[in-house]
Amino acid sequence: MQLSGQFERTLDDKGRVVLPSRLRELLEDRKILITDVGDRLSIWPTDEFERFVDDLTEDLLARVDSGEMDEAELNDTIEYLWAGAQPIRPDQQGRMVIPEELLTEELRGAEVVLVGARDHINVFAAAEYFTRKQQLRPRVAGNVSQYRPRRRSRDD
């Protein structure tokens, strides 16, 4: 699955936002959930979220083993992610209701940007997203300009 693109939307006062049809089609017939990942909300197919948390747990366990983090912080992080994970389902018009406990004052009634991130969709307050995007642009451009593609055969 390739969830991609950037879509500006309005999150109304009731916490509803319209999922773009292109993304909705990719998520069709899949159980999805939304969670708070700290600096944004993320919409996940349930199986991808489980895979993400499993991989994150492995990485955090390695940090515990190396002494960079203690087990309490690992447990708090994983608990935070699962506690905030709420099942959602778009209605016939593609509207999703973001659960009340995940709505912040900066999101309620605000312009938001839904951003495809390959296996999930991030939801940012628009002003935050565009500031972040502007700040990242030079670094991304530098990373991309330093990339040297490998020659691949047509069979790859």
Q: State pLDDT tens for residues 8-49.
A: 999 988 899 999 988 988 888 889 999 998 889 999 999 999
* CB neighbours of residue 114 within 10 Å: 25
Domains in the chain, CATH or no CATH each: 6-146 (3.40.1550.20)
SS3 67: coil
Query: By the 8 A CB rule, do 42 and 123 touch?
Result: yes
Query: What pairs with residue 43 in β-bridges?
Result: 34, 121
CA distance 138 to 115: 19
pLDDT tens for 91-144 read 888 899 999 999 888 888 889 999 999 999 999 999 999 999 999 999 999 999
Closest by CA position to 100, among listed 12, 32, 14: 14
Query: By the 8 A CB rule, do 14 and 99 touch?
Result: no
Pairing assessment for the beta strands 32-36 and 111-116 based on DSSP bridges:
unpaired
